[in-house]
Amino acid sequence: MKISIVTLFPEMFVGPLGTSIIGRAVENGKIDLNIVHLRDFARDERGTVDEPPFGGGPGMVLQAGPLIDAVDSIGELSEQAGTGKPHVVLMSAQGAPLAHRRAQELSELQAMTIICGHYEGVDERFIELRVDEEISIGDFVLTGGEIPAMAVTDAVARLIPGVLGDDDSSKHDSFAPGSDSLLEGPVYTRPAKFQGLEVPKILLSGDHAKIEAWRRRQALRRTEERRPDLLNDWPANE
């Protein structure tokens, strides 16, 4: 999958997306990650990509022209490479909240371009002309779209086959399809006793059927305690 990220601050992505699982996926060719500097598409020698909003008001607005040029350039290269026209996502506090199901759908794309919003936003005409979808990572506002873009990239990339060491790992995630939308219950590892706290004996029993039943009960209990809203559509026979 080819993921392109258009940003005013490309240096922010070097560490977070260049290490750990995502970094290895890039090295192994599972992900083609392309960080694009928006100022490279400025239409004047000063590198201008933002202007004050029409009608007055605080802050600056990213211009439609440089954004469209950046997206079109990425699209041309993507089509030449045979990955087709990228799906264009704008990170925006006004977007739909990202859910696991949507991340799974995005992971099945061949190419995606993520736009990092900044300042007071982007010219609405860019959204109308090029953006396929707006995504938010929560009901709060950050200084820019870079951190949300990293979050979306991570959430999507880890679902691409071969990115995780064990592809079955993501099938047991909280919110994953088939997980009944339950949160994951508690997990433990060695030592069996730590600072007076012991691992539940059932996990040491070797009885896999009982262990799975215990894990399901714990998942339901944790969901009831922390995210009862997830149980609104819980089957009546549960």
User: Position 234: which residue type?
Assistant: W
User: 70 in a domain, yes or no?
Assistant: yes
Do 205 and 108 reside in the same domain of the chain?
A: no
How far is residue 206 from each of residues 57, 67, 193, 203, 210, measured CA to CA in Å? 65, 57, 18, 7, 9
Do 132 and 23 reside in the same domain of the chain?
A: yes
User: 172 in a domain, yes or no?
Assistant: no
- DSSP string computed for 98-133: P-HHHHHHHHT-SEEEEEE-BTT-B-HHHHHHH-SE
Q: What's the CA gap between 219 and 211, in Å, rounded?
A: 12
Query: Number of folded domains in the chain?
Result: 2
Q: Give the model's pLDDT for residue 187.
A: 96
Q: CATH number of the domain at 28, please.
A: 3.40.1280.10
Do 149 and 184 reside in the same domain of the chain?
A: no
Domain of 47, in residue numbers: 2-157
Do 150 and 198 reside in the same domain of the chain?
A: no
Q: Give the model's pLDDT for residue 171.
A: 59
Q: For 87-98, how does the pLDDT look when each residue is reduced to its tens digit (9 = 90+)?
A: 999 999 999 999
Give me the residues of the chain with pLDDT under 70, please: 166-180, 233-238
Q: What's the CA gap between 98 and 135, in Å, rounded?
A: 6
Burial class of 208 by CB neighbour count within 10 A (0 to 12, 13 to 18, 19+): exposed
